[in-house]
Amino acid sequence: MVTALYVPFLITALLIELTPGPNMAWLALTSASKGRKSGFAAVAGIALGLALLGGASAFGLSELATGSPVVFNLLRYAGVAYLLWLAWETWSSGNETTETALDHSGLMDWFRHGLLLNLLNPKAAVFFITVLPAYISAGVPVASQTLLLSFSYVGIATAIHLVIVVLAGSVHAWLAQGGRQLLIRRIFAVMIALVAIWFLRSTA
C-alpha cells in the first residue's frame, strides 16, 4: 500500500513535528518538573490521541470538528481551559515531585492529560484533513492510505516526543533537590499558563 508519495509525506511529517509548538513545550515542562515516567505516560496519551484523530480522518469524522467554526472554537477554548487548569494544579499541588512517588494512578493522570490535550487541539485534526490528503495517491483505496499515513505520522511524532522526554527529564533530579521545589513548581505553573496562551494563538 506504500505509494510514491509516502517518503515525501514522512519528510513533511518530520519537519512539522520538529517545529516547536505548545505540545512540545508542555511535554518538556512535564518531564522536567515531574520526571521521565510522567513524560512517558504523557507521550502514550498523546500517541493515542493522534491515532484516534488519524482513524477518525480515515472515515471523514475529523471534518465535523474543523468544518464548523463553532465546534472548532469550542475545542480551542476547552484546550486552553484544560492547560490553565493544569497550571493551577501545578501551582497549588504538594511538594512531592519524585518519580518514585508516582503510582499507577499518577501515571494514568499524565496519560489522560496527554490524550485530552490532543483531542482538544483542533490544529491536530486540521493536519489530518488539510496536509495528509495531499499525499493520497489516485487508484489506491483512500481509507487504507489515510490509515497508513496517519499511523506513520503517529510513529514519527512519538519518536520525537520520547527524545524530548529523555532530554528534558535529565534535569528533573537537579530541580527536585534541596528546598527549591516550591519555587520550581511555581515557575513551571506560570510557564504552563504561557503555553496555554501559545496554544490559543497557534490554533487561531
Decide: residue 121, CB within 10 A, 0-12 exposed, 13-18 middle, 19+ buried: buried
SS3 assignment, position 170: coil
- The per-residue b/e assignment along 123-134, b for 16 or more CB within 10 angstroms, e otherwise, is bbbbbbbeebee
Give the C-alpha separation, 177 to 182, whole Å. Answer: 11
Q: Which amino acid is at 139?
A: G
For the segment 181-192, what is each residue's pLDDT rounded down to a tens digit? Answer: 677 778 888 888
Which grid coordinates belong to 80? 486552553
Quote the DSSP letter at residue 130.
I
Of 60-64, 79-83, 144-148, 154-158, give the lowest mean pLDDT range.
60-64
Phi, psi of 48 (to 5 degrees): -65, -40
pLDDT tens for each residue of 69-125? 777 778 778 878 888 888 888 788 654 444 444 455 688 999 999 999 888 877 777
pTM recorded for the entire structure: 0.80
